[in-house]
């Protein structure tokens, strides 16, 4: 049986035009995450508050395809998300038939900037529990992904895995390239702390399906003695419930296996892997660019001004005859290299404080997972949960600042420019400037829609949010 085409809900023009296939990258980052609902009080009062963080996580981490589970998305929620975030992400949802807003639910989230969102093919194996996505990717190759959210009750697992096996056989589907999701069961005793085997019938049913689909736990095969956990229970027990299985032929082509926290308040960690075929071209780190926030670093600006004046003096009043190291071109190149070095130092000093703190915590977390008493000592497991809580807090802090910056940018430049809008925003700018103390005002603003106005809007929003938090 051929998979059902999933067409994008995008407006079609009256004139028929050939749709161009997106030029995808040679490698792609795949990830899986248990959402535990679509809203969180920590992110706002909206019924879909988590999806702002999801969109940000997909963008920042450059995730091509994200498989999410336990979403609880209704048709109304899906419509709201599509109206707000459809420009950046595309969602293919499979909801529970009986309780769509409170039980199960899985989806594929495709990054429109990276993944191909045209001519997708999907099929629901079990609504809200198992779904297949087929997409064309780099050089017209097909990528088949199975998204899984298994039941919590182990007694239901044999029937669940058996049903997937039966439908897969009846529809004559090809073997998937990847099978990922929240399996709510482990196959190895090392995947739980305290270490213990899971229900035999449930485990055997999962293994039978794996053998039929010809997929393997590649991370475990490459790390036979390592400990990694993606879920913390209320009783301080740890488990690796979220996993990514791959076809054996992709073992050498998968890299950068990671399990990390995100800005989304969850009790699960996100797991990810980068897939790059052997014949894929080498892609470097890219060109370094100045972080935009450094444009307002007064110390850095003063240093650049001093270096610029010295360079200007060398160009206007050379001390030696012209030669290879005494000419305007050489002075100008040296000036650019110097200010780039100063900018890198400033970026490490000011912008990487939270990132450095997270890296130190991640290092501490890795050492904690390697302790021999993690199975027997509850304090060790509690310490591991505390570290993850701290990391989650820092990720939320980063997300809030970026969200606030996006809101300020939208307030400054979000609408289409018209003359009457410029007049209204000029009045708004004057009102905001009156409320900001004189010593906090920035440099001269020549237009209400410049970076300076965006910065002022950011300060205003930040102050209002801070006052609201203090009053609460």
* Within-domain flag for 40: yes
> Which has more confidence, 52 or 291?
52
In 212-316, the DSSP E strands lie at 231-232, 238-239, 242-246, 254-260, 270-275
Over residues 403-417, mean pLDDT: 61
* Within-domain flag for 41: yes
What is the per-residue pLDDT for 279?
64
pLDDT at 393 over 50: yes
Q: Residues 139-163: pLDDT tens digits?
A: 667 889 999 999 999 999 999 999 9
* Within-domain flag for 298: yes
What is the per-residue pLDDT for 206?
96
pLDDT at 174 over 90: yes
Domain identity same for 223 and 80: yes
% residues pLDDT > 90 (the chain): 36
User: Which of 204-208, 228-232, 275-279, 311-315 has the highest average model confidence (pLDDT)?
Assistant: 204-208
What is the per-residue pLDDT for 411?
65
Q: Residues 331-362: pLDDT tens digits?
A: 999 999 999 888 888 877 766 677 777 778 88
Domain identity same for 23 and 102: yes
Domain identity same for 254 and 342: no
Domain identity same for 332 and 432: no
* Within-domain flag for 105: yes
* Within-domain flag for 387: no
Domain identity same for 80 and 108: yes
Domain identity same for 145 and 182: yes
Over residues 48-70, mean pLDDT: 89
User: Which of 82-86, 210-214, 227-231, 411-415 has the highest average model confidence (pLDDT)?
Assistant: 210-214
pLDDT at 323 over 70: yes
What is the per-residue pLDDT for 273?
95
Domain identity same for 329 and 437: no
What is the per-residue pLDDT for 1?
43
Boundary residue ending a domain (250, 275, 300): 275
* Within-domain flag for 390: no
pLDDT at 204 over 90: yes
What is the per-residue pLDDT for 293?
67
What is the per-residue pLDDT for 50?
87
Domain identity same for 225 and 318: no
CATH of residue 156's domain is 3.60.10.10
Mean per-residue pLDDT over the chain, rounded: 80
**Residue range(s) defining the domain that contains residue 338:** 292-351
Q: Per-residue confidence at 464, pLDDT binned at 50, 70, 90?
A: low
Which strand ranges, in their side-by-side order, compose the sheet holding 254-260? 89-94, 106-111, 65-69, 28-34, 270-275, 254-260
Boundary residue ending a domain (309, 329, 351): 351
Q: Residues 436-456: pLDDT tens digits?
A: 555 444 443 444 444 445 555
Domain identity same for 136 and 253: yes
pLDDT at 170 over 90: yes
Domain identity same for 114 and 167: yes
Residue with tokens 């992904």: 145
What is the per-residue pLDDT for 377?
80
Please list the residues that pair with 94 across neighbouring strands: 106
Boundary residue ending a domain (351, 384, 402): 351
Which helix or strand (DSSP H or E) is residue 353 part of? Answer: helix 353-369
What is the per-residue pLDDT for 447?
42
Q: For 438, which DSSP code?
A: G
Over residues 410-433, mean pLDDT: 55
CA distance 88 to 93: 16
Domain identity same for 33 and 163: yes
pLDDT at 13 over 60: no
Nearest to 228 by CA among 344, 362, 117: 362
Domain identity same for 219 and 301: no
CA distance 439 to 322: 47
> Which has more confidence, 62 or 377?
62
What is the per-residue pLDDT for 309?
92
What is the per-residue pLDDT for 338?
92
Contacts of residue 456, defined as CB under 8 A and 6 or more positions apart, other chains included, come to 429, 432, 433, 436, 442, 445
What is the per-residue pLDDT for 373?
81
What is the per-residue pLDDT for 243?
96
> Which has more confidence, 241 or 278?
241
Grouping H, G, I as helix, E, B as strand and the rest as coil, residue 46 is coil
Domain count, the chain: 3
Over residues 16-45, mean pLDDT: 73
Residue 443 corresponds to which tokens in the numbers above?
A: 């440099």
CA distance 33 to 41: 19
* Within-domain flag for 125: yes
What is the per-residue pLDDT for 236?
81
What is the per-residue pLDDT for 446?
41
* Within-domain flag for 372: no
């Amino acid at each position: 049986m051929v998979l059902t085409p999933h067409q994008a809900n995008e407006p079609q023009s009256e004139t028929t035009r050939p749709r161009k296939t997106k030029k995808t990258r040679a490698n792609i980052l795949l990830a899986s995450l248990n959402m535990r609902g679509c809203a969180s009080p920590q992110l706002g009062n909206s019924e879909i508050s988590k999806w702002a963080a999801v969109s940000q996580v997909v963008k920042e981490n450059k995730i091509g395809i994200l498989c999410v589970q336990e979403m609880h998305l209704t048709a109304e929620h899906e419509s709201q998300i599509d109206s707000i975030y459809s420009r950046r992400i595309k969602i293919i949802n499979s909801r529970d038939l009986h309780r769509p807003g409170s039980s199960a639910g899985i989806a594929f989230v495709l990054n429109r900037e990276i993944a191909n969102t045209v001519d997708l093919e999907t099929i629901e194996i079990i609504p809200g529990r198992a779904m297949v996505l087929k997409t064309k990717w780099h050089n017209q190759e097909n990528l088949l992904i199975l998204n899984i959210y298994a039941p919590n009750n182990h007694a239901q697992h044999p029937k669940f895995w058996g049903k997937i096996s039966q439908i897969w056989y009846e529809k004559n589907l090809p073997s998937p390239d990847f099978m990922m999701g929240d399996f709510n069961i482990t196959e190895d005793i090392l995947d739980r702390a305290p270490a213990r085997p899971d229900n035999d019938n449930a485990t055997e049913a999962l293994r039978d399906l794996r053998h039929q689909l010809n997929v393997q736990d590649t991370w475990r095969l490459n790390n036979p003695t390592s400990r990694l956990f993606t879920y913390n229970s209320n009783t301080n027990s740890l488990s690796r419930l979220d996993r990514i299985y791959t076809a054996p032929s992709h073992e050498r082509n998968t890299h950068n296996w990671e399990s990390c926290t995100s800005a989304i308040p969850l009790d699960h960690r996100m797991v990810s892997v980068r897939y790059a075929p052997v014949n894929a071209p080498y892609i470097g780190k890219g060109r370094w660019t100045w972080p935009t926030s450094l444009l307002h670093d007064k110390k850095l600006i003063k240093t650049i001004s001093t270096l610029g004046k010295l360079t200007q003096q060398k160009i206007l009043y050379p001390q030696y005859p012209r030669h290879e190291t005494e000419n305007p071109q050489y002075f100008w190149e040296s000036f650019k290299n110097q200010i780039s070095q100063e900018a890198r130092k400033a970026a490490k000093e000011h912008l990487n404080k939270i990132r450095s703190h997270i890296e130190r915590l991640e290092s501490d977390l890795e050492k904690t997972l390697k302790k021999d008493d993690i199975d027997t000592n509850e304090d060790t497991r509690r310490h591991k949960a505390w570290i993850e809580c701290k990391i989650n807090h820092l990720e939320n802090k980063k997300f809030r600042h970026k969200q606030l910056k996006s809101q300020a940018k939208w307030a400054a430049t979000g609408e289409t420019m018209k003359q009457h809008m410029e007049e209204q925003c000029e009045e708004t700018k004057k009102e905001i400037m009156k409320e900001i103390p004189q010593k906090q005002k920035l440099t001269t603003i020549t237009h209400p829609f410049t970076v300076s106005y965006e910065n002022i809007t950011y300060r205003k929003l930040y102050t209002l949010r801070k006052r609201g938090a203090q009053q609460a």
